């Protein structure tokens, strides 16, 4: 069964460093998302992406964050200068198409645990 | 701002009991999804409801979307230890942005 994959599974970085989190969405999916989940807290929406541009972003997704689909398979989240409070689990998700169909499913990857020291 | 409130936060019950988890908001959503998340893993979608008043069943799980599309409930009949996990609801105003609730941690004791 196709699945969303994410690398690395765990990233440790120093405060102020840039990190790139990588995701490979399911191949025929068109809509991509990044979420984060700080330990013990709820899942928070960061950004959605369609047709090579951002569809929507949250207030968390400031100038320090960027997303890119550099080729036909990868979807990346870059944090330019990491802060301690960026430590969290970051989840990528993809869906085939948007619409009112109730069978449309958002598939989540296993996540990347980012630790900022 | 907590757009979606889930209750209860924690629930510990015996195997065989029934339970209901609630997801409430003052906002209207075009759709609402329920997920289950295991520790260290990503959320897994259980169901999407889109029509006010809609009821969906998934084996022993029954999901309902409120008539006004502001709230939802998840009812589990005859809970089993395998149902243990974190249950999340997420509302969408369109399919570009999802708001997650804080989750209900369910523990079913054998």
Dist. CA B30–CA B92, nearest whole Å:
6
Map out the domains of chain B with their CATH numbers: 5-109 (2.60.40.10)
Q: Indicate the pLDDT class of residue A102, thresholds 50, 70 and 90.
A: very low
pLDDT 10s digits, A15-43: 999 999 999 999 889 899 999 999 888 99
Two tokens, residue A4: 């969303």
d(CA A88, CA A115): 7
Give chain A's domain count: 1
Q: Which two tokens stand for residue B79?
A: 């809970």
**CB of A12 within 8 A of CB of A112?**
no
Chain B residue with minimum CA distance to A53: B96
* Closest in B40, B95, B103 to A42, CB measured: B103
Three-state DSSP string of B16-29: CCCEEEEEECCCCC
Contact of A48 with chain B, judged by CB distance below 8 Å, is answered with yes
DSSP A91: E
Nearest-by-Cβ selection for B48 from A44, A104, A107: A104
Measured between alpha carbons, how far is residue B45 from residues A69, B12, B36 in Å? 24, 22, 7
Residue A101: inside a domain, yes or no? no
**What percentage of chain B reaches a pLDDT higher than 70?**
98
Chosen from A33, A34, A95, A106 to mutate, greatest number of chain B CBs within 10 A: A106
Q: Identify the CATH number of the domain in which residue A85 sits.
A: 2.60.40.10
pLDDT (0 to 100) of residue B95? 73
CA atoms in the 13 A half-sphere facing the CB of B88? 22
Best A7, A21, A43 member to test B by mutation, with max B CBs in 10 Å, is A43
Q: What is the pLDDT of residues B54-89, one digit of tens each?
A: 999 999 999 999 999 999 999 999 999 999 999 999
């Amino acid at each position: 069964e196709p699945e969303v994959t994410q690398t690395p599974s765990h990233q440790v970085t120093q405060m102020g460093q840039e990190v790139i989190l990588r995701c490979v969405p399911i191949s025929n999916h068109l809509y991509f998302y990044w979420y984060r989940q700080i330990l013990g807290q709820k899942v928070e929406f960061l950004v959605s992406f369609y047709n090579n541009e951002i569809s929507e972003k949250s207030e968390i997704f400031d100038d320090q964050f960027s997303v890119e689909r550099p080729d036909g398979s990868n979807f990346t989240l870059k944090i330019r200068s990491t802060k301690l409070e960026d430590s969290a689990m970051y989840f990528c998700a993809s869906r085939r198409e948007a619409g009112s169909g109730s069978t449309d499913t958002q598939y989540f990857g296993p996540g990347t645990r980012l630790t900022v020291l | 701002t907590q757009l979606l409130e889930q209750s209860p936060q924690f629930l510990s019950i015996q195997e065989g009991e029934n339970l209901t988890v609630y997801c409430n908001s003052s906002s209207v959503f075009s759709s609402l999804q329920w997920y289950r998340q295991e520790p260290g893993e990503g959320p897994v979608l259980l169901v999407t409801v889109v029509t006010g008043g809609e009821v969906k069943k998934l084996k022993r799980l029954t999901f309902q979307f409120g008539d006004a599309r502001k709230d939802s409930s998840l009812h589990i009949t005859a809970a089993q230890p395998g149902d243990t996990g974190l249950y999340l609801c997420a509302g969408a105003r369109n399919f570009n942005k999802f708001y997650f609730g804080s989750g209900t941690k369910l523990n079913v004791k054998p």
